Amino acid sequence: MTDDYEHYEAVVVGAGPGGAAAAATLAQNGVETLVLERGVESGSKNVSGGLIYAEESAPYTIDGLFPNFRTEASERPVTEYYLHNVAGRKVKTIDLTDLHEHDTMWSDAVLRRHMDSWLEDRVHEVTRETGGGLLTGVRVDGLLREAGEIVGVTCEELDPIKADAIIAADGVNSELARDAGLMDWEDPEEWFQGVKAIVDMPEGAVAERFGVADDEGVAHLFSGDLFEGVRGGGFLYTNDDSLSIGTVFHLDSLVAEEAEPHELLDALLTHPLLDQWLQGEYEELEYGAKLVPDSKKAAHPSPHRGRLMLVGDAAGQMQAQGPIIKGMNHAVSAGALAAEAFSEAQTRDRPAEAGQRYETKLRDEGVMKKLRPTPYKIASAVGENDAVASMTDSLVDSSLGKLGIKAADRLGLLGRSFNSPFVMSVMPDTRTPYVTAPTAIAEALGTPVRAENDVEPPDLADRIGDLTYDVGDPHIELQDNSYEASGAAVAACPVSAKDFGGGCYRDETVKTNGHEEHLVSLDTQPCVECGTCAIVADTEWEHPAGGKGVEFKQG
Amino acid sequence: MHTLVLTKGVPDFREGQVSFDEDGHLERGKTPTVMNPNDKHALEAALQTKVRHGGTVSLMSMGPPGYKEVLQEGMADVYADDLYLLSDREMGAADTWATSITLSTGIDHLDDEPDIVFAGFKTADGETGHTGPQTCWCQDWPIVTHVVALDIDEEERTLRAKRLVEGDVEEIETVEAPLPCFVVADPEFEPTYRKADHRLRHKDLRAETQERAENFEDHLEVYDQEELNLDPDFIGLDGSPTIVAGVDPIPKAPSEREATMVDPGDEAGMASVFEELEPYAEAD
Ligand SMILES: Cc1cc2nc3c(=O)[nH]c(=O)nc-3n(C[C@H](O)[C@H](O)[C@H](O)COP(=O)(O)OP(=O)(O)OC[C@H]3O[C@@H](n4cnc5c(N)ncnc54)[C@H](O)[C@@H]3O)c2cc1C
Ligand code: SF4
């Protein structure tokens, strides 16, 4: 029966940076490669910060695989990098350009719709020459198995397809990784949630307001007390003619604080510090959100099974190096390494060895060490211990701590430690580095911002209304609609809110036979497919069918 | 596989496009000509055949020189390879009978005989649905009408089609016919591309057609009366036995109705609404 199925040497699922790198490398090695992407166009499903890095130590870079990437697919390069520690109106700014430049060949801001659709054309061209090609609007919905072995993929829009290698580059909430039993969607501690607004800038305003030339750009990061104590921070990156302003929070912290992601974003957008750049004008081009895996906890040490190899977010390969977020670059490296592994194994006539070769390459090329640094394991074992964490936290917050901060600053230690890639990669996931320390630093050393920022970001209803959707069948089902099981999604879903009826999740009290039940209801129409409720609520979670659901124009 | 699609230009009857004079006659000059909307399904069936089996698609139309643009539109939609326009003053004012004879002669005139001729399901202006079947009758080929799905066996030179039976959407029969064959695609026709390879070929065709459609005249042949060598008694007005006795405009529904506005919050008002409706409510 399965003999009638189409066969390709390699099938790549997902055409983000990981899938594009895998496909281009496979094609370069003459492997017949089919790429399947669920969006109407590559990038239409993707949200990123996003600064894409080309690391000196990386085995592959995006411009190495795709010449002209920087001139044609990206926005501005980052030439300055700052961290703002915020306590109320007080701000202490630390120049992090050194940390940013460490191991960096270059780093550019990108908008994913433009970047990924540019990659799509190139990938289609090179894979078509191998007899394959790239198809959009096709959602892979599972793995094809024969006698228990993975032999291909099943799709909603196509008949099953067999392949000698399947590279799952399907991003965070990878349905293939879940189907293979390699990743689960259980633990909020393994994830961040990223939320972002693209803000329009009048022509010439970026250069003028940020004091940069046309071929320069800035990254600003924000941490401290402006996010209701939720662990995480904010960012602002300059694009050609717009700004990417967003937040990234630990999902467990967001849930614990019952914080509303859009309100945290608004807290950043309306902070007086941003007035110098927004200058009272605010036109939001797009609101978007997506989960981000935390490689320190989620990166799979052995991301393959049979013919299946996971790359990028699908394998949890997203590194948060302190405030620096590196996912796209690792997806590129991993994608190309998986491709290389398969083509070598195939040449030796042992395609079954591809997965093991890929794992070895991840280790030998130093990718795994960045994703799961050993010092972090030690530091976190101590630092994330509850007693130690609260002690560190109160110490930093104490007057002794503040004295220490002042001394450290005088000695130049503060800037040095923030700029240390080592310190940044082993920082424990406690309140201290995200909230308490930045707030204490700002209180001890900060200068008050006098400007007023009176911009009014749109409310959730307008944000949803401005997005483009091609609504298909509901793709998420509530398994347990009790508030205890799924209530966390009401606040954590970036397009829902406790007092808002037009979002995905709603909080409901139902009276039956004299007793009250606290329930949640779900309407997937306004869903931005961020993946949050796959983790924090009891759901049967899938992506919508190919071409259906939200369509990001910016990303 | 060579497929031919018969298509026709019709006045664009969409609101805002179509223009009538005071007597309710269509103003041809002021109304743009577009491809007959129902021909889209024939085009899709031809494209599906090309994607699945390779080969070429040709489009043919009989009409004034202005139909060239209609053919161009079709070329862009269906990624057609060649266009044929049968155009001559002598062919003008033809009814469906004379048109069928002309088209059939056009088909015989092609260098490469088509394996399948696709026709749309009735035109938006004539609404007769005669031209396809009559042209087929002239060719003395088999015909399958109301086709909603299609499969071709190239080796056996047969086609297998699912067709709607007599307008009842629920009833579908499967028929087989030898090639060459006429196929009338039903508006319910749905092309299916469930193989990656087919979708990739579809994408290739789209990419290569853009340029061709821009320079469509390079791929267009115009056959006139002389070229086709038709008997003048069988074409145009002279060859048309149809006599139009008169045209009655369809009366428009009156635009004025009596309405009473009731605020849903107004209890007395709502009570009167229910009172009014009561006689219409079904008795238990
Ligand atoms: C707010 C935010 C800020 C971020 N900032 C940065 C940053 O500054 N720098 C950085 O490097 N990273 C950043 N990241 C992380 C980065 O976006 C990801 O790590 C990166 O996109 C991962 O690439 P990928 O190729 O693995 O997956 P993705 O880019 O997510 O691509 C996956 C692709 O697979 C497709 N797909 C998914 N499922 C299916 C299916 N079943 N069938 C077919 N196709 C499917 C998707 O449509 C998508 O195109 C940020 C993320 C967020 C949310
Ligand atoms: S419904 Fe779930 S996946 Fe959709 S936006 Fe809300 S949290 Fe994200």
Cα distances (Å, whole numbers) of residue A150 to A147, A171, A177, A305: 9, 20, 12, 8
The domain segmentation of chain B, as residue ranges, is 2-234
Indicate yes or no: CB of B200 within 8 angstroms of CB of A159.
no
Q: What is the CATH number of the domain that holds A486?
A: 3.30.70
Tell me the per-residue pLDDT of A204-257, one tens digit each, with 9 for 90 and over.
Answer: 999 999 999 999 999 999 999 999 999 999 999 999 999 999 999 999 999 999
Ligand 1 centroid – CA A365 distance (Å): 22
How is A37-56 classified by DSSP, letter by letter? --SSSTTTT-----EEEEET
Tally of domains within chain A: 3
Looking at domain B2-234, which of 3.30.420.10, 3.40.50.620, 3.90.660.20, 3.30.9.10 is its CATH number? 3.40.50.620
Q: Answer yes or no: do A135 and B197 touch at CB < 8 A.
A: no
A152-156, A250-254, A443-447, B96-100: segment of lowest average pLDDT? B96-100
Residue B169 banded pLDDT, cuts 50, 70, 90:
low
For the ranges A369-378, A400-409, A494-503, the one whose mean pLDDT is highest: A494-503
Instruction: State how far the Cα of A529 lies from the Cα of A148, in Å rounded to an integer.
Output: 30
Query: How many Cα atoms are found within 13 Å in the side-chain-facing hemisphere of A528?
Result: 30
- Same domain for A364 and A409: no
> What is the percentage of chain A residues whose pLDDT exceeds 70?
98
Distance, in Å, from the CA atom of A551 to the CA atom of B136, rounded to the nearest integer, reads 46
In a domain? residue A15: yes
pLDDT confidence of residue A18 = 98
Q: Which amino acid is at A334?
A: A
Please report residues of B whose CB lies closer than 8 A to that of A160. Answer: none
A151-183 confidence digits (pLDDT tens) = 999 999 999 999 999 999 999 999 999 999 999
Residues of chain B with Cβ-Cβ distance to A158 below 8 Å are 194-196, 199
Assess whether A442 and A398 both reside in one domain. Answer: yes
Within-domain flag for A511: yes
Q: Which residue has the higher pLDDT, A424 or A63?
A: A63
How many CB atoms are closer than 10 A to CB B88?
20
Band (A413; pLDDT cuts 50, 70, 90): confident
Cβ-contact A528, A288 below 8 angstroms: yes
Residue B254 pLDDT more than 80?
Answer: no
| A545 has a chain B CB within 8 A of its CB | no
Distance (angstroms) between ligand 1 centre and the Cα of A494 equals: 17
Q: What tens digit of pLDDT does each residue of B8-60 get?
A: 888 888 878 888 877 767 777 788 888 888 889 999 999 999 999 999 999 99
pLDDT exceeds cutoff 80 at A376: no
Taking CB atoms and an 8 Å cutoff, what residues of chain A touch B195? 6, 158-159
The pLDDT score that the predictor gives to residue B283 is: 61
Mean pLDDT, chain A, whole residue set: 94
Q: Tell me: do A94 and A201 sit in the same domain.
A: yes
CATH value at residue A366: 3.50.50.60
pLDDT of residue B284: 54
Residue A319 has pLDDT above 70, yes or no: yes
A124's enclosing H/E stretch is: helix A112-128
Report the predicted TM-score, pTM, of the whole model to 2 decimal places. 0.90
Please check the confidence at residue B263 and state whether its pLDDT lies above 90: no
Rounded distance between C-alpha atoms, residue B134 and residue B98, angstroms: 10
Query: Under a CB-based contact definition with an 8 Å cutoff, are residues B18 and B12 in contact?
Result: yes
**Of the partner residues A6, A124, A132, the one whose CB lies closest to the CB of residue B195:** A6
Range scoring the smallest mean pLDDT among A30-34, A61-65, A208-212, B22-26: B22-26
**pLDDT range class, residue A2, cuts 50, 70, 90:** low
Query: Are the C-beta atoms of residues B114 and B107 closer than 8 Å to each other?
Result: yes
Which one is predicted more confidently, A462 or A322? A462
From the list A179, A235, A170, the residue with the least C-alpha distance to A16 is A170
Judge if A402 and A429 occupy the same domain: yes
User: Is A116 in the same domain as A25?
Assistant: yes
Least confident of A196-205, B134-143, B233-242, B262-271: B233-242
Residues in chain A closer than 8 A to B199 (CB atoms):
135, 138, 158
Task: Decide which of A391, A424, A457 is a domain's last residue.
Answer: A457
Q: Is residue A86 domain-shared with residue A189, that is, in the same domain? A: yes
Task: Over range A185-207, report the average pLDDT.
Answer: 97
Lowest mean pLDDT among A84-98, A410-424, A435-449, A530-544: A410-424
Strands (DSSP E) found in A56-190 = 80-87, 90-95, 104-109, 133-135, 140-146, 149-155, 161-168
Most A CBs within 10 Å: which of B193, B194, B195, B199, as the mutation test of the A interface?
Answer: B199
Query: Which of A154, A158, A161, A166 is the best mutation test for B, with the most CBs of B within 10 A?
Result: A158
Same domain, A81 and A41: no
Inside any domain, residue A464: no
Is the per-residue pLDDT at B167 higher than 60? no
Instruction: Report residue A270 as tokens.
Output: 């309306």
The answer to whether residue A307 is domain-embedded is: yes
Residues A525 and A545 in one domain: yes
> What's the CA gap between A382 and B28, in Å, rounded?
85
- In angstroms, rounded to a whole number, what is the distance separating the alpha carbons of residues B176 and B15? 41
Residue nearest ligand 1's atom 20 by CA: A328
Q: What SS3 class is residue A533? A: helix
Lowest-confidence pick of A474-488, A522-536, B96-110: B96-110
Query: Does A28 score more than 90 pLDDT?
Result: yes
Q: Residues A308-318: what's their mean pLDDT?
A: 98
Q: Does A463 map to a domain?
A: no
Who's near A270: CB < 8 A, 6+ residues apart? A453, A454, A455, A456, A457
Final residue in a domain of this structure, among A349, A371, A393: A371
| Adjacent-strand bridge partners of A93 | A84
Same domain, A386 and A413: yes
Q: How far apart are CA B284 and CA B278, in angstroms?
A: 13
Residues in chain B: 284
pLDDT at A397 (0 to 100)? 75
Pocket test for ligand 2, best of A45, A290, A504 (most atoms within 8 A of CB): A504
Q: Which pLDDT band holds residue A532 (cuts at 50, 70, 90)?
A: very high
Q: Is B111 helix (H, G, I), strand (E, B) or coil?
A: coil
What is chain A's alpha carbon radius of gyration, rounded to the nearest angstrom?
23
ipTM of the complex: 0.91
Q: Are A52 and A146 in the same domain?
A: yes
User: When comparing pLDDT for A454 and B232, which is higher?
Assistant: A454
A437-445 helix and A399-410 helix, angle to the nearest 10 degrees: 70
Q: Of A371, A391, A421, which residue is a domain's last?
A: A371
Atom of ligand 2 nearest to the CA of A504: 1
The helix/strand/coil state of A510 is: strand
Domain membership of residue A466 (yes or no) is no
* A431 ligand 1 Cβ < 6 A: no
Q: Residue A324 belongs to what domain range?
A: 2-74+110-183+300-371
**Would A467 be classed as within a structural domain?**
no
